C-alpha cells in the first residue's frame, strides 16, 4: 500500500452492512504486514470463515491476537466487544466501585446503548484511541460496525455529547424525587413528570433519574474522550475507504456517504465497489430467457453492475479514485487469498484514473 | 401445524439490511392481496422506499392506496407518541409545548421500548379496523437495526418495566397479540450466504428466548439458479462462477435446514431491478409458502 491513497497510519473502512468491509479490512491488514508494517486490524463480529482464514478462531472479545502470518511485519487482530469496553470505561471514570455498581445495576443502562444508535460501537472505538496513543503499530486498520446507516457510527460522538448535554440530564440532576421517593414540587418539572407518569408510570422515571445521577461523575471524562476520538478521526493522517455494493441502486447512498464524510471534516482516500459481477463473454442485450438460465442471469447482473460503476465514476468529479473488485466465486478462505484480494484492491486503485490537475480530492465544504 | 400465514392480522418481515427485506415485505403484501386479503404495508424507515416497490407516491405519514387491495403507510413512531400525548393532554398548546421540549425528545429517544410499542400498537389498531381503510392484514417492514427482536420483545419489556398504569396495560395487550400464533406471524428474510444464515439462526433462537416463539417462515432470497445435471453451454468463466456461487448457496441452505426445522421458502435471483416487476414475480414465488402454516 506504499504510495497508494491508502498508505496512512490509520485506515478506516466504512460502508453499509453486508458489503464486505470486514473482509477488505483483513485483506489490507495482510498486505500491510507483508510490506513490513506492524499492523493491527480492529474488527467487529467477523464471520467464522474469516476467523478461520486469519486463524484467530479462538480469539475472545477485546483481546489482541497475533495472526500466524509469515511476513516482515507483525499482524494482530483485535475483535471488539463494545459492551465490555463500555463497562470498562464506566469502571475507569466512576469515582468509586459503588458508583460503577449503581450504573451496572440500573435497568436503564442496559437500554441506553440500544436506543442511542451507534453509541456502543463508538465506545469500542475508544479502544482505537488507546491503541493510537500507545504507538505500538505502524498502521491500524479499523473495520467499522455494521450499522444500518454507516453514518450512525461517525455521528455517535456528537450524539452522546448532545445527550449528556441535554436538558434531560440537567433536569435529572436536579432530582425530581425527594429522599423518600416522592416527586418534588415545582411547576415545569411537575408538568412534564405528571405527563410522563400518566404515560409510562413513575417506576421508569425513577430509573432514569437514578441513572443520570449515577452517570454524572463520569460526564467530564466521557465528554473529553468523545472530543479526542472525533479529532483523531478527522486528522489528515486518518484516511477512509468507502466500500459499496455494486449495482445502480447503491450509487446514491455511496455518494451521499462520501459527501457527508467530507463535510464532517474526514479524509476520503478512495471508493471501492465490491462484488461486481464480471462481464460474461456473451452479448445478451436482453433479459435471460428463463430464470433457470444462470448465464443469462449473470449477464444481466454484469450489465447492471457495469452501469452502476460507470454512473459512479461519472458522478465522482473530485478526483477520488474508484476501484472495482470482482465478485469471487467463493469467499476468500486463507491468508494467501486475503493477501491477493488486498493487492488486487491496491492495484485497481493504482490503475484508477489519476485525479484531474488542480483538485486535491479534499473538497472544501459548501 | 398452525394456521396459514395468509390468515393472520400482522406479519412482521424482518432481516438484516441488504438481503431484500423491503422487497419481500412488498411481495408478501401483493401475494396476500391476490388471495383476497385487504393488506397494508407499514414502513417505519424514515427513508421511504416502499412507494417505489409498490408503484405509488411517497406516503409521508399518510395512508395511500397502492393498487388492488394494497395500501401503504410510512409511520413516524414519534408522531404516534405525540398523538398519545395529545390524547392525554386536551389543551393543544400545552401538548405541543411538551412534545417540543428537549426533555420529552430525549425521553422518547431513550426510554426502553416506547417507539417499538407505538409501532406495534398502531399496527394492531389498523388490523382491528379502528383506524385506516379497514384491512385484514398489516405487513410490517420492520426496522433493520438490530435483529428485529427488540421490536417484538418491546411490549413484554415495557410491561415488565412499568408494572402498572395505562401504558403497561396497553403493552400487555400488545404482547399477547404478538405471542398469539394465529394472529401474528414472523417472516425472516435472508440470503444463502454465511453471515446472513448465521444471523438468521441467532435471530430464531433469540425470538424463542425473548418472546417464546420461533419465526414462522425463513425466506431465502436471491438464490442462483440450480446447477443443471448436464453442463449447459456458455462461456467458461460465467459457468464456473454460476456453479460455485450456487455451491455456496447449497452449502448454506443445508446448514440452515440442519439447524432450523421450520418452513423455508427458496426464492430465485431474478433479473430485474428493485421495483414493481420484481415484487410481482416474488409475490408469485412466495404465495405457496404463505398458504401453509409454519411448523410449530
Q: B283: distance to nearest CA of chain A, Å? A: 15
CB B42 within 8 A of CB B139: yes
The pLDDT tens digits for B244-276 are: 999 999 999 999 999 999 999 999 999 999 999
Q: Give Dmax (Cα) for chain B.
A: 75
**How is residue B293 annotated by DSSP?**
B
- B196 in contact with A at a CB cutoff of 8 Å? yes
Looking at per-residue pLDDT, the higher value among A64 and A191 belongs to: A64
Specify whether the CB–CB gap between B200 and B221 falls below 8 A: no
Tell whether the model's pLDDT for residue B51 goes beyond 50: yes
pTM of the model: 0.86
- Whether the per-residue pLDDT at A107 is higher than 80: the answer is no
Please tell me which of A202-211, A244-253, B183-192 the model is most confident about, judged by mean pLDDT.
Answer: B183-192
> Which single residue is written with the C-alpha cell 399496527?
B123
Average pLDDT, chain B: 88
pLDDT at A183 over 70: no
| Record: contact B85-A199, CB cut-off 8 A | yes
Query: Of the given ranges (A176-180, A248-252, B85-89, B115-119), which has the lowest mean pLDDT?
Result: A176-180
Reduce the DSSP state of residue B91 to 3 states and report it.
Answer: coil
**Higher-confidence position of B295 and B279:** B279
Contact B104 A288 (CB under 8 A): no
CB atoms under 10 Å from CB of A230, counted, come to: 18
Cell of B251: 452449502
Give strand pairing partners of B125: none
Nearest CA of chain A to the CA of B112: how many Å? 6
Q: Is the pLDDT of residue A65 over 70?
A: yes
Question: Angle formed by the axes of helices B77-88 and A187-200, to 10°?
Answer: 110
Greater pLDDT, A11 or A48: A11
Least confident window among A29-33, A270-274, B2-6, B42-46: B2-6
- Amino acid A364: pLDDT: 43
pLDDT top residue among A42 and A128: A42
pLDDT of residue A32: 97
Cβ contact (<8 Å) for B165 and A198?
A: yes
Q: Are the beta carbons of A195 and B85 separated by less than 8 Å? A: yes
DSSP per-residue codes, B155-211: HHHHHHHH-SSHHHHHHHHHHHHHH-TTTEEEEEEEESSHHHHHHHHHHHHHHHHHH
Share of chain B above pLDDT 90, in %: 65
Distance of CA A180 to CAs A175, A212, B138, Å? 12, 18, 46
d(CA A11, CA B279): 39
Helix (H) or strand (E) holding B112: none
Mean pLDDT: which of A169-178, B5-14, B43-52, B101-110 is highest? Answer: B5-14
Q: Which residues pair with A253 in a beta bridge?
A: none
B80: three-class secondary structure by DSSP: helix
CA distance A306 to chain B (A): 14
Better-predicted residue by pLDDT, A211 or A299: A299
In the predicted structure, residue B127 carries a pLDDT above the cut 80: yes
Residue A44 DSSP label: S
Range among A49-58, B143-152, B165-174 with highest mean pLDDT value: B165-174
Q: Which pLDDT value is given to residue B247?
A: 97
**What whole-number distance in Å separates Cα of residue A305 and Cα of residue A312?**
10
Question: Between chains, do B234 and A282 touch, taking CB under 8 Å as contact?
Answer: yes
What pLDDT score was predicted for residue B206?
86
Instruction: Collapse the DSSP code of A282 into the 3-class scheme (helix H, G, I; strand E, B; otherwise coil) and give the result.
Output: coil
Q: Is the pLDDT assigned to residue B201 strictly greater than 70? A: yes
Confidence category of residue A50, pLDDT binned at 50, 70, 90 = confident
Q: Which of residues 198-237 of B touch A (CB under 8 A)?
A: 198, 224-228, 232, 234-235, 237
Q: Stretch A287-308: mean pLDDT, rounded? A: 87
Q: Is A308 within 8 Å of A332 (Cβ atoms)?
A: no
pLDDT digits (tens, 9 = 90+) for B187-199: 999 999 998 999 8
Tell me which of B148 and B184 has the higher pLDDT: B184
Average pLDDT over residues B201-229: 93
**A167 with B239: Cβ contact below 8 A:** no
Cα–Cα distance, A160 to B52 (Å, whole number): 34
Contact B287, B34 (CB under 8 A): yes
Nearest by CB to residue B102, choosing from A111, A167, A292, is A167
Three-state SS annotation for A150-198: CHHHHHHHHHHHHHHHCHHHHHHHCCCECCCCCECCCHHHHHHHHHHHH
Q: What is the pLDDT of residue A363?
A: 45
ipTM of the complex in this document: 0.88
Q: Give pLDDT, residue B295.
A: 39
Q: How many whole angstroms separate alpha carbon A81 and alpha carbon A285? A: 48
Identify which of A4-8, A257-261, B12-16, B62-66 has the greatest average pLDDT: B62-66
At A61, list the grid cell. 472479545
Query: What is the interface size between A and B, counted as CB pairs within 8 Å?
Result: 171
Residue A191 has what pLDDT?
A: 63
Residues B87-111: what's their mean pLDDT?
65
* Contacts of A114 by beta carbon, 8 Å cutoff, 6+ apart: A120, B112, B146, B150
Range scoring the smallest mean pLDDT among A162-176, A254-268, B50-64, B136-150 = A162-176
The rounded distance, in Å, linking the Cα atoms of A79 and A59 is: 7
What is the rounded CA–CA span in Å between residue A181 and residue B33? Answer: 54
Q: Report the gap between the CA of A47 and the closest CA in chain B (Å).
A: 6
Q: Which chain A residues have a beta carbon less than 8 Å from that of B94? A: 191
Sheet holding A75-79, edge to edge: A64-66, A75-79, A39-43, A139-143, A10-14, A238-244, A267-276, A322-326
Sequence-ordered alpha helix ranges (H) in chain B: 21-34, 50-53, 77-88, 92-100, 102-110, 114-127, 149-162, 166-179, 194-211, 236-259, 276-291
- Contact state of A195 with B167 under an 8 Å Cβ cutoff: no
The pLDDT assigned to A129 comes to: 78
Dist. CA A124–CA A44, nearest whole Å: 9
**Nearest Cα to B256, choosing from B191, B197, B173, B180?**
B197
CA dihedral (A30, A32, A37, A41) positive or negative: negative
A156: nearest Cα among A212, A84, A106, A229: A229
Residue of A nearest to B101 (CA): A167
- The answer, yes or no, to whether residue B132 has pLDDT greater than 80, is yes
What is the pLDDT at residue A79? 81
Residue A365: pLDDT band (50, 70, 90) is very low
At A215 the pLDDT is 67
Q: What is the pLDDT of residue A308?
A: 94
Whole-number pLDDT of residue A115? 47
Q: Which of A17, A107, A163 lies nearest to residue B161, judging by beta carbons?
A: A107
Query: In the 8-state DSSP scheme, what is residue A204?
Result: H
B170 pLDDT band, cuts 50/70/90, is confident
Who wins on pLDDT, A200 or A275?
Answer: A275
Amino acid at each position: 500500500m506504499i504510495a497508494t491513497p491508502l498508505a496512512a497510519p490509520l485506515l478506516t473502512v466504512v460502508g453499509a452492512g453486508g458489503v464486505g468491509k470486514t473482509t477488505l479490512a483483513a485483506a489490507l491488514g495482510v498486505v500491510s504486514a507483508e510490506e513490513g508494517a506492524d499492523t493491527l486490524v480492529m474488527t467487529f463480529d467477523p464471520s467464522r470463515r474469516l476467523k478461520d482464514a486469519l486463524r484467530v478462531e479462538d480469539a475472545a472479545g477485546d483481546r489482541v491476537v497475533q495472526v500466524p502470518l509469515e511476513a516482515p511485519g507483525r499482524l494482530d487482530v483485535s475483535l471488539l466487544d463494545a459492551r465490555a469496553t463500555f463497562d470498562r470505561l464506566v469502571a475507569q471514570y466512576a469515582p468509586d466501585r459503588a458508583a460503577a455498581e449503581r450504573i451496572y445495576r440500573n435497568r436503564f443502562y442496559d437500554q441506553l446503548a440500544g436506543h442511542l444508535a451507534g453509541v456502543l460501537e463508538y465506545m469500542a472505538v475508544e479502544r482505537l484511541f488507546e491503541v493510537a496513543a500507545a504507538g505500538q503499530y505502524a498502521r491500524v486498520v479499523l473495520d467499522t460496525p455494521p450499522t444500518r446507516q454507516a453514518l450512525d457510527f461517525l455521528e455517535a460522538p456528537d450524539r452522546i455529547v448532545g445527550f449528556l448535554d441535554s436538558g434531560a440530564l440537567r433536569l435529572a440532576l436536579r432530582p425530581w424525587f425527594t429522599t423518600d421517593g416522592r416527586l418534588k414540587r415545582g411547576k415545569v418539572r411537575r408538568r412534564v413528570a405528571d405527563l410522563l407518569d400518566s404515560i409510562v408510570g413513575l417506576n421508569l422515571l425513577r430509573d432514569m433519574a437514578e441513572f443520570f445521577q449515577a452517570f454524572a461523575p463520569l460526564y467530564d471524562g466521557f465528554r473529553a474522550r468523545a472530543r479526542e476520538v472525533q479529532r483523531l478521526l478527522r486528522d489528515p493522517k486518518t484516511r477512509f475507504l468507502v466500500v459499496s455494493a455494486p449495482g445502480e441502486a447503491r450509487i446514491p447512498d455511496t455518494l451521499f456517504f462520501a459527501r457527508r464524510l467530507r463535510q464532517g471534516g474526514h479524509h476520503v482516500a478512495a471508493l471501492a465497489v465490491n462484488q461486481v459481477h464480471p462481464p460474461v463473454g456473451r452479448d445478451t442485450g436482453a433479459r435471460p430467457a428463463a430464470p433457470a438460465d444462470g448465464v443469462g442471469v449473470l449477464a444481466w447482473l454484469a450489465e447492471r453492475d457495469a452501469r452502476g460503476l460507470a454512473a459512479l465514476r461519472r458522478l465522482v468529479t473530485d478526483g477520488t479514485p474508484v476501484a472495482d473488485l470482482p465478485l469471487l466465486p467463493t469467499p476468500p478462505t486463507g491468508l494467501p487469498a486475503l493477501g491477493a484480494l488486498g493487492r488486487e484492491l491496491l492495484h485497481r486503485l493504482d490503475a484508477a484514473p489519476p485525479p484531474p490537475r488542480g483538485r486535491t480530492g479534499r473538497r472544501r465544504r459548501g | 401445524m398452525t394456521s396459514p400465514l395468509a390468515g393472520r392480522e400482522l406479519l412482521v418481515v424482518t432481516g438484516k439490511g441488504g438481503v431484500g427485506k423491503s422487497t419481500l415485505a412488498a411481495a408478501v403484501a401483493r401475494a396476500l392481496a391476490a388471495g383476497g386479503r385487504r393488506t397494508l404495508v407499514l414502513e417505519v424507515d424514515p427513508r421511504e422506499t416502499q412507494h417505489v416497490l409498490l408503484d405509488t407516491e411517497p406516503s409521508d405519514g399518510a395512508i395511500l392506496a397502492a393498487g388492488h387491495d394494497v395500501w401503504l403507510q410510512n409511520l413516524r413512531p414519534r408522531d404516534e407518541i405525540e398523538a398519545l400525548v395529545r390524547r392525554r393532554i386536551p389543551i393543544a398548546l400545552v401538548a405541543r409545548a411538551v412534545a417540543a421540549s428537549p426533555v420529552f425528545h430525549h425521553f422518547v429517544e431513550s426510554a426502553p421500548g416506547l417507539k417499538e410499542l407505538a409501532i406495534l400498537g398502531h399496527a394492531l389498531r389498523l388490523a382491528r379496523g379502528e383506524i385506516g381503510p379497514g384491512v385484514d392484514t398489516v405487513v410490517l417492514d420492520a426496522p433493520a437495526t438490530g435483529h428485529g427482536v427488540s421490536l417484538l420483545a418491546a411490549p413484554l419489556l415495557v410491561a415488565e418495566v412499568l408494572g402498572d398504569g395505562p401504558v403497561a396495560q396497553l403493552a400487555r395487550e400488545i404482547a399477547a397479540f404478538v405471542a398469539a400464533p394465529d394472529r401474528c406471524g414472523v417472516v425472516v428474510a435472508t440470503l444463502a450466504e454465511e453471515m446472513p444464515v448465521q444471523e438468521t439462526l441467532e435471530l430464531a433462537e433469540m425470538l424463542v428466548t425473548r418472546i417464546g416463539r420461533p419465526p414462522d417462515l425463513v425466506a431465502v432470497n436471491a438464490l442462483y439458479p440450480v446447477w443443471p445435471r448436464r453442463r449447459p453451454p456458455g462461456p467458461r468463466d460465467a459457468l464456473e462462477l454460476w456453479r460455485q456461487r450456487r455451491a455456496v448457496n447449497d452449502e448454506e441452505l443445508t446448514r440452515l435446514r440442519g439447524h432450523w426445522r421450520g418452513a423455508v421458502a427458496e426464492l430465485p435471483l431474478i433479473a430485474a431491478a428493485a421495483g414493481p416487476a420484481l415484487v410481482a414475480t416474488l409475490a408469485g414465488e412466495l404465495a405457496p409458502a404463505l398458504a401453509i402454516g409454519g411448523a410449530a
